Amino acid sequence: MTPDGSKYSEEILEVVDHEDRVIGTERRGVIHARGLMHRSAQVLLFNSSGQLFLQKRSMNKDEFPGLWDSSAAGHLAPGESYRQCALRELEEELGIRHRGAMTELFKVGASAHTGYEHCTVFSCLSDDQLTLQAEEVDAGKWLSPGEMDHWVENRHAQLTPAIRRIWQKLRSRDK
């Protein structure tokens, strides 16, 4: 355990530049404290009814504790691809060993809204039973696209800035 109480602060991540090129490595705690750019994969999990699964981040998370977020998400390990990370996070956080198609939707550049993460967003479809990782996820909820639109439009909704931006970008592509 580290001084901030997070076992993740010592995790080594790649630091990247504005073009998402690796320029070095650093501990996660330092990256977050200094606002250094790094990478994450974000997964939007839909069921066959068209609902989106949102996870409520654990209150023990170092960033955005207790807020609703992407279905699954995580930092890329050094040398890991965005797709590999997305598949790993689906399994770790939701217990899904995904065997179906996973579609890369788009990238969102690093900014304050994303916690200075370059995010590659994927979508996938599954009706599998979910097993939430207790140390990462406090709860989960399935929302229709219309319900998600309402949450995103409500500035008081307890959503991470990243999922707001991701959903807005997804919906603008759908028009």
pLDDT in tens, 47-101: 999 999 999 999 988 889 999 999 999 999 999 999 999 999 999 999 998 777 8
Q: What CATH architecture is 39-174?
A: Alpha-Beta Complex (3.90)
Question: Per the structure block, which two tokens stand in for 144?
Answer: 């229709």
The Cα–Cα gap between 134 and 156 comes to 26
* Residue-level pLDDT at 63: 84
Q: What is the pLDDT of residue 5?
A: 43
The Cα–Cα gap between 19 and 60 comes to 31
Average pLDDT over residues 24-45: 96
The whole-chain average pLDDT of the chain stands at 91
Q: Is 94 left (phi over 0), alpha (psi -120 to 50) or beta?
A: alpha
Percentage of residues of the chain with pLDDT beyond 70: 94
* Non-local CB neighbours of 18 within 8 Å, separated by 6+ positions: 37, 109, 110
pTM for this structure? 0.91
* In the predicted structure, residue 165 carries a pLDDT above the cut 80: yes
**DSSP annotation of 159:** B
Instruction: Please give the pLDDT value at position 73.
Output: 95
Question: 12: closest CA among 1, 23, 28?
Answer: 28
- φ and ψ at 153, to 5 degrees? -70, -25
CB within 8 A of 147, min separation 6: which ones?
none
pLDDT in the model for residue 8: 58
Read off the pLDDT band of 106 (50, 70, 90). very high
Report the pLDDT averaged over residues 96-123.
91
Is 9's pLDDT higher than 50?
yes
Task: Please count the residues of the chain.
Answer: 175
Residue of 34, 42, 169, 171 whose CA lies nearest to 118: 42
